[in-house]
Amino acid sequence: MYSQGLIGADGKTHEDAAFLAAFQARIDAEQKIEPNDPMPEGYRKTLVRQISQHAHSEIIGMQPEGNWISRAPTLRRKAALLAKVQDEGGHGLYLYSAAETLGVSREEMTEQLLSGAAKYSSIFNYPALTWADIGAIGWLVDGAAIMNQIVLCRCSYGPYARAMIRICKEESFHQRQGYEIMIALCNGSEEQKELAQDALNRFWWPSLMMFGPPEGESVHSNQSMIWKIKRFSNDDLRDKFINASVPQAEKLGLTIPDPDLKWNEAKQGYDHGEIDWDEFWRVVKGDGICNRERLKNRRRVDRDGAWVREAAMAHAQKRAARTASARIAAE
């Protein structure tokens, strides 16, 4: 998962009080909600929105890294990166099918992504400029994703929780391969270490933004907490991520690009500097460095693959018709 921050969802419900109370009682008893169970329309909509945004993020997320597969420095790195990008595609597919159990079709979701109506995580609108960025993405972007995803394994909606469990099992290799790239660069020449520092400088803040704005501004997250779709606030998860990442950066001998970052003995965690939420909203609204390119690529790939899908459909229909007529002839 790449976006916990649910962007612009409408969590309103119109069902009567008894229905809502019965539903909430099930949630409070930690019962999982399954596809055809009665559920408030707001719950269903919120999930469709969140799961499809998450799926789109996995799919678009293949682009920055896919861009480096042909330029990976060794065969080992290339095999690992290829496997990682393939995993991300798989994550997208698990999540699309989880969303489909809520009554939205794959075609509708694809259409929303291609038309630009659907959102995906803002992190993927930043470019991967150097090989060190591939290290930083695995280490930080997948690391932030893991923080989000681990808690989603306990989400109240069964199919989403199950998809998250499968995804989490696959994610840890992603982060480790990224950190290993960073270790290699930091143990290399001066220039290599500079590349690593530069990648950290560019990816640090956007990674923190992946957790979404603080709850005060994120109006709908409260309802998501009550429904146990999410279980921690954006700030809590962000703090956990910072506390885990700072020592990892120290091990690498790199500096986190935040002059205000300092250990707070009282809360046993780090205090961090101001996050530029204006930048976040700019990127969400389409004005990031790569927004246009990402969608343009996705549309091109969809167009280029259309004939394959059409041919496969035609072939399947022809074969089915042939089997049917053979059966009639035999009878």
Partner 1 sequence: MSEAAMPLWEVFIRARNGLSHKHAGSIHATDAEMALHAARDVYTRRGEGQSIWVVRSSDIVASDPVDKDMMFEPTASKIYRHPTFYEIPDDVGNM
Contact footprint for partner 1 (CB under 8 A):
34, 36-38, 83, 86-87, 90, 93-94, 97-98, 100, 105-107, 110-111, 114, 162-163, 166, 170, 306, 309-310, 312-313, 315-316, 319-320
Scan residues 157-176 and list those touching Fe ion (CB under 5 A).
171, 174
- DSSP secondary structure letters along 51-112: HHHHHHHHHHTHHHHHTTGGG-SSHHHHHHHHHHHHHHHHHHHHHHHHHHTTT--HHHHHHH
Residue 100 sits in the site that holds Fe ion (CB under 5 A): no
Q: Which residues of 128-156 are buried (b: 16+ CB within 10 A; e: fewer)?
A: bebbbbbbbbbbbbbbbbbbbbbbbbebb
Task: Name 33's bridge partners.
Answer: 157
Of the residues 133, 142, 239, 258, which one makes contact with Fe ion according to CB under 5 A: 142
Q: Report the alpha-carbon distance of residue 37 to residue 188 in Å, rounded.
A: 56
Residue 91 sits in the site that holds Fe ion (CB under 5 A): yes
Q: Which does 174 bind (CB under 5 to 8 A by kind): partner 1, Fe ion, none?
A: Fe ion
Q: Which does 88 bind (CB under 5 to 8 A by kind): Fe ion, partner 1, none?
A: Fe ion
Residue 88 sits in the site that holds Fe ion (CB under 5 A): yes
Sign of CA dihedral 43, 47, 49, 50: positive
User: How is residue 32 annotated by DSSP?
Assistant: P
Q: Which does 244 bind (CB under 5 to 8 A by kind): partner 1, Fe ion, none?
A: none
Residue 202 sits in the site that holds Fe ion (CB under 5 A): no
C-beta of 106 vs 228, nearer to partner 1: 106
Q: Report the alpha-carbon distance of residue 2 to residue 15 in Å, rounded.
A: 31
C-beta of 39 vs 199, nearer to Fe ion: 199
Smallest distance from partner 1 to CB 122, Å: 26
What are the residues binding Fe ion (CB under 5 A)? 58, 88, 91, 142, 171, 174
